[in-house]
């Protein structure tokens, strides 16, 4: 196995070759991959023609799987296309047909176009996400990743002091409200209960590399002890700053790419494609975080 980086980002995004994810991996290789995720935050594996079981097995090398159920989405159990071990980030219903324009599940999934970290709205937020490209769109559909460790490092001292002990409220409802999703019309009272905001610190430290990172996400709707409009102005400025080109890797997908990213130290967003026509099948497994942060 070989892991290479590119000149622009010596410590962000590794390109992994010489490994077949269909096969069993020994402890040494798993440790090597795990260390590389901690150091590089994003790992790209090309030509991995894996099925769901193989993706789940590979994911479990890095921890417990986060179940993708009613606290992650509004899709009802009997409308699911995939098992709850996988988050369905395609544009497809259970008959493998693209969602129609007004389908609430499509509109809800548009939240993935906003910069976010997966499951930051859960009490124990996600550790790693693994996204497998089973079928890609002809145009568009890139995924962008931003390095929240470099973004932290470049903050001026005044801002570092300001964010040091900051606590933010995260909820799927906050990110969907940004898009004008009509909560009263589209969400049941049970959905709303499932998406109650949780508090997370804005600054985290990676215990392996000891680097600080900004735990930022469009799921943030409020800073603790701040009013919401002030919170939103501050968070939006920070997201704009943290996602500028110098912190950002843009991935143009090929079929059978698999990417692992570390949600503790990156943000990501999906880019647009013709989702009413194209059939884009992307399947995500998620490694549960190890601790409640507050």
Binding site for Fe ion (CB under 5 A): 118
In the complex, the smallest distance separating the C-beta of residue 130 from Fe ion, rounded to whole angstroms, is: 11
In the complex, the smallest distance separating the C-beta of residue 235 from Fe ion, rounded to whole angstroms, is: 17
Instruction: Give ∠ CA 103-105-107 in degrees, rounded to 5.
Output: 75
C-alpha–C-alpha distance, residues 148 and 143, integer Å: 16
Two tokens at 168?
A: 């933010």
In the complex, the smallest distance separating the C-beta of residue 134 from Fe ion, rounded to whole angstroms, is: 17
Cβ-proximal residue to Fe ion, closest one: 118
- Give buried/exposed letters for 227-252 (b at 16+ CB in 10 A, else e): eeeebbebbeebbeebbeeebbbebe
Would you say 80 or 160 has its CB closer to Fe ion?
Answer: 80
Would you say 118 or 262 has its CB closer to Fe ion?
Answer: 118
In the chain the beta strands, taken as DSSP E runs, fall at 2-4, 14-17, 42-45, 87-88, 126-135, 143-147, 167-170, 198-201, 203-205, 212-214, 220-223, 248-251, 258-262, 266-270, 281-288
* 143 and 260 Cβ atoms separated by less than 8 Å: no
* 292 and 123 Cβ atoms separated by less than 8 Å: yes
Would you say 80 or 224 has its CB closer to Fe ion?
Answer: 80
In the complex, the smallest distance separating the C-beta of residue 162 from Fe ion, rounded to whole angstroms, is: 27
Would you say 42 or 155 has its CB closer to Fe ion?
Answer: 42
In the complex, the smallest distance separating the C-beta of residue 258 from Fe ion, rounded to whole angstroms, is: 15
Would you say 87 or 238 has its CB closer to Fe ion?
Answer: 87
β-bridge partners, 279: none
In the complex, the smallest distance separating the C-beta of residue 120 from Fe ion, rounded to whole angstroms, is: 10
SS3 content of the chain, % helix, strand, coil (to 5): 30, 25, 45
Would you say 204 or 219 has its CB closer to Fe ion?
Answer: 219
């Amino acid at each position: 196995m070989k892991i290479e980086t590119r000149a622009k980002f010596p410590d962000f995004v590794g390109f992994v070759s010489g490994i077949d994810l269909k096969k069993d991996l020994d402890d040494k290789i798993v440790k090597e991959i795990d260390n590389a995720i901690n150091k590089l935050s994003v790992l790209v594996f090309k030509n991995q023609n894996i099925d769901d079981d193989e993706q789940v097995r590979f994911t479990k090398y890095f921890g417990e799987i986060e179940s993708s159920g009613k606290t992650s989405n509004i899709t009802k159990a009997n409308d699911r296309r995939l098992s709850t071990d996988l988050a369905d980030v395609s544009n497809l219903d259970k008959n493998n047909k693209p969602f129609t324009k007004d389908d609430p599940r499509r509109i809800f999934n548009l939240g993935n176009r906003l910069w976010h970290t997966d499951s930051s709205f859960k009490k124990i937020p996600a550790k790693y996400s693994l996204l497998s490209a089973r079928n890609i769109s002809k145009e568009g559909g890139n995924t962008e990743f931003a390095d929240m460790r470099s973004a932290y490092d470049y903050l001026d001292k005044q801002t570092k002091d300001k964010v040091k002990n900051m606590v933010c409220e995260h909820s799927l409802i906050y990110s969907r409200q940004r898009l004008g999703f009509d909560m009263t019309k589209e969400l049941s009272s049970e959905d709303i209960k499932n998406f109650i905001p949780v508090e997370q610190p804005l600054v985290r430290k990676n215990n392996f590399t000891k680097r600080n990172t900004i735990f930022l996400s469009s799921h943030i709707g409020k800073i603790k002890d701040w009013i919401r409009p002030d919170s939103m102005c501050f968070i939006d400025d920070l997201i704009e700053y943290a996602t500028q080109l110098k912190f950002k890797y843009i991935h143009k997908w090929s079929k059978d790419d698999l990417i692992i990213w570390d949600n503790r130290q990156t943000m990501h967003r999906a880019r647009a494609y013709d989702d009413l026509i194209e059939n884009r099948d992307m399947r995500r497994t998620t490694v549960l975080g190890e601790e409640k942060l507050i």
